[in-house]
């Protein structure tokens, strides 16, 4: 009898583990269950007091779920659930928790945020990922999502209150047509509205070719003179004139518009290099700064190679830069892209934005003129003062170009 009791203990342990797993995970999607979600949310809320970091809760529903169910049935809905679960997980880091709560409703905990604004790009990324087409039984299914977002400290400090607030904001997003996210906090909705308006403006600017490139000289040692140039993107706005993109780069990054914009920059630099060479002007390598989104995009090196071949640009006339932080965040991609660029003879530098130097402590010096020049003025300046850099600034002032 004693041996029988001992033998049954492993089986009891297995059953207990299975029951625990079933309680903590949703069987349909393998995501966290409501029980596990609530436990993780309580832990995240408690951690805020120790770390001072931010926590967000997102409630998400698929806008087209009922229509798919009525027209295609239960199996199609299950496939759509799995698609949404996979899309959500692909957008989140390891610390986030994703739960399937009820039918077509999901919830996400985003802990350890430095700022409330950190949730904006994540929400945009979720919307884009979920509306990607899914192939099912010979046809493509698509759906959009509505997301409600509650922030710790703004929309309640208790776990249950945060999820309730996020659900309320989600219903508001759905009621306004779906395919959007809404915050409980009004000021965050204002920020999101501004971001969407800026994104629409950037899309229009791309469509109507309103971006222009200006070039900024870089110098080495005093006796060496200018050694390179840096391409800078400006926006020739139809009403506001020439506008710097500093405040809009983040919007372009979040929306994904940085990818087509970056592709245009690469091709335009190659076109300009060819024009300068055909005009018999002095030549300098041109550096192009790559954004995180652009750097991680498939096909980057192929696009660079195609642009170089189209305009007959030598590999030593192009240089690409990423910040040291990007290099660390995308370590695997960095090594791969660096090898690919090296195979076509193009250099990749790591730049410390705070110091203006490369991460290796080499060759990238502060610009010697205080504003970038359009291509024609840049060529005139370079031709007039190629041997030395000491008179660059007076010549710049003589041109009297105003950006």
Question: What CATH number did the domain enclosing 313 receive?
Answer: 3.20.20.450
- Asked, for residue 12, whether it belongs to a domain, the answer is no
- Summarize pLDDT for 240-284 with one digit per residue, the tens: 888 887 778 878 887 788 889 999 999 999 998 898 888 887 778
Terminal-residue alpha carbon distance, the chain: 91
Q: Inform me whether the pLDDT recorded for 137 exceeds 70.
A: yes
Q: Of the given ranges (37-41, 166-170, 171-175, 242-246), which has the lowest mean pLDDT?
A: 242-246
Q: What is the mean pLDDT of residues 380-391?
A: 45
- Asked, for residue 19, whether it belongs to a domain, the answer is no
pLDDT at 330: 59
- Asked, for residue 309, whether it belongs to a domain, the answer is yes
- Other CB atoms within 10 Å distance of the CB of residue 295: 22
Task: Mark whether 127 and 250 lie in a shared domain.
Answer: no
Residue spans of alpha helices (H) in 232-370? 249-255, 258-278, 292-295, 300-311, 324-329, 331-343
- Other CB atoms within 10 Å distance of the CB of residue 140: 9
pTM as predicted:
0.59
pLDDT at 268: 92
Confirm if 243 and 237 have CB atoms less than 8 A apart. Answer: yes
Q: Which of 156, 184, 212 represents a domain boundary (last residue)? A: 184
pLDDT at 59: 93
Task: Mark whether 130 and 239 lie in a shared domain.
Answer: no
Task: Mark whether 206 and 178 lie in a shared domain.
Answer: no
- Asked, for residue 192, whether it belongs to a domain, the answer is no
- Asked, for residue 139, whether it belongs to a domain, the answer is yes
Q: Of the given ranges (47-56, 58-67, 154-163, 290-299), which has the lowest mean pLDDT?
A: 154-163
Task: Mark whether 257 and 290 lie in a shared domain.
Answer: yes
Reported as a pLDDT band with limits 50, 70 and 90, residue 337 is confident
Q: Which of 124, 151, 184 represents a domain boundary (last residue)? A: 184
Task: Mark whether 39 and 175 lie in a shared domain.
Answer: yes
27 or 367, which is more confident: 27
Reported as a pLDDT band with limits 50, 70 and 90, residue 376 is low
- Asked, for residue 327, whether it belongs to a domain, the answer is yes
Q: Is 354 helix (H, G, I), strand (E, B) or coil?
A: coil
216 or 380, which is more confident: 216
Reported as a pLDDT band with limits 50, 70 and 90, residue 19 is very low
Task: Mark whether 166 and 312 lie in a shared domain.
Answer: no
Task: Mark whether 153 and 301 lie in a shared domain.
Answer: no
Q: Of the given ranges (57-71, 258-272, 348-362), which has the lowest mean pLDDT?
A: 348-362
Reported as a pLDDT band with limits 50, 70 and 90, residue 200 is confident
Q: Which of 184, 213, 241 represents a domain boundary (last residue)? A: 184
pLDDT at 85: 92
pLDDT at 153: 62
Give the C-alpha separation, 118 to 208, whole Å: 31
Q: Reduced to 3 DSSP states, what percent helix, strand and coil does the chain have, rounded to the nearest 5?
A: 50, 20, 25
Give the C-alpha separation, 364 to 356, whole Å: 7
CATH number of the domain enclosing 105: 3.30.70.270
Q: Inform me whether the pLDDT recorded for 398 exceeds 70.
A: no
User: Reading across the β-sheet that carries 54-62, which strands appear in turn?
Assistant: 97-102, 105-113, 54-62, 145-151, 180-183
Pairing of strands 134-136, 105-113: unpaired
243 or 401, which is more confident: 243
Total structural domains within the chain? 2
Task: Mark whether 266 and 370 lie in a shared domain.
Answer: yes
Task: Mark whether 113 and 216 lie in a shared domain.
Answer: no
Task: Mark whether 173 and 317 lie in a shared domain.
Answer: no
- Asked, for residue 20, whether it belongs to a domain, the answer is no
Confirm if 33 and 24 have CB atoms less than 8 A apart. Answer: yes
Give the C-alpha separation, 347 to 64, whole Å: 47
Q: Inform me whether the pLDDT recorded for 155 exceeds 60.
A: no
> Which residues lie across from 243 on neighbouring strands?
235
Q: Inform me whether the pLDDT recorded for 171 exceeds 60.
A: yes
Task: Mark whether 231 and 296 lie in a shared domain.
Answer: yes
Boundaries of domain holding 365: 201-399
* Burial tier of 312 (Cβ tally within 10 Å: 0-12, 13-18, 19+): exposed
- Asked, for residue 21, whether it belongs to a domain, the answer is no
Task: Mark whether 304 and 380 lie in a shared domain.
Answer: yes
- Other CB atoms within 10 Å distance of the CB of residue 361: 9
Give the C-alpha separation, 374 to 2, whole Å: 90
Give the C-alpha separation, 315 to 318, whole Å: 6
């Amino acid at each position: 009898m004693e041996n029988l009791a001992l033998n049954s203990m492993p089986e009891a342990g297995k059953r207990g583990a299975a029951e625990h797993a079933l309680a903590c995970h949703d069987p349909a999607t393998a995501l966290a269950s409501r029980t596990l979600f609530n436990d993780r949310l309580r832990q995240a809320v408690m951690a805020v007091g120790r770390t001072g970091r931010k926590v967000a809760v997102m409630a998400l529903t698929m806008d087209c779920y009922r229509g798919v169910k009525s027209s295609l049935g239960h199996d199609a809905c299950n496939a759509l659930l799995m698609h949404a679960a996979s899309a959500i997980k692909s957008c989140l880091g390891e610390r986030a928790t994703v739960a399937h709560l009820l039918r077509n409703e999901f919830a996400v905990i985003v802990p350890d945020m430095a700022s409330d604004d950190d949730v904006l790009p994540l929400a945009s990324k979720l919307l884009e990922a979920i509306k990607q087409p899914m192939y099912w039984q010979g046809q493509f299914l698509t759906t959009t999502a509505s997301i409600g977002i509650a922030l710790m400290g703004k929309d309640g400090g208790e776990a249950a209150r945060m999820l309730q607030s996020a659900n309320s904001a989600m219903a508001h997003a759905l009621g306004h047509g779906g395919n959007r996210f809404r915050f409980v906090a009004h000021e965050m909705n204002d920020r999101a509205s501004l971001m969407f308006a800026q994104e629409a403006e950037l899309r229009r600017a791309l469509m109507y070719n309103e971006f222009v490139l200006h070039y900024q000289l870089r110098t080495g040692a005093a006796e060496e003179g200018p050694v390179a140039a840096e391409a800078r993107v400006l926006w020739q706005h139809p009403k506001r004139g020439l506008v710097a993109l500093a405040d809009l780069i983040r919007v372009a990054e979040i929306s994904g518009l940085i990818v087509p914009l970056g592709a245009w920059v690469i091709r335009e630099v190659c076109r300009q290099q060819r024009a300068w060479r055909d005009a018999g002007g002095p030549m300098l390598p041109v550096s192009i700064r790559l954004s995180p989104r652009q750097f991680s995009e498939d096909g980057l090196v192929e696009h660079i190679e195609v642009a170089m071949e189209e305009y007959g640009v030598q590999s030593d006339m192009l240089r690409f830069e990423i910040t040291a932080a990007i290099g660390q965040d995308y370590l695997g991609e960095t090594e791969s892209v660096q090898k690919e660029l090296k195979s076509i003879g193009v250099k990749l530098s790591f730049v410390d934005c705070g110091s203006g130097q490369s991460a290796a402590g080499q060759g990238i010096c502060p610009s010697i003129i205080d504003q970038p020049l359009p291509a024609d003025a840049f060529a005139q300046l370079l031709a007039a003062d190629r041997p030395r850099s000491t008179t660059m600034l007076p010549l710049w002032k003589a041109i009297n170009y105003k950006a």
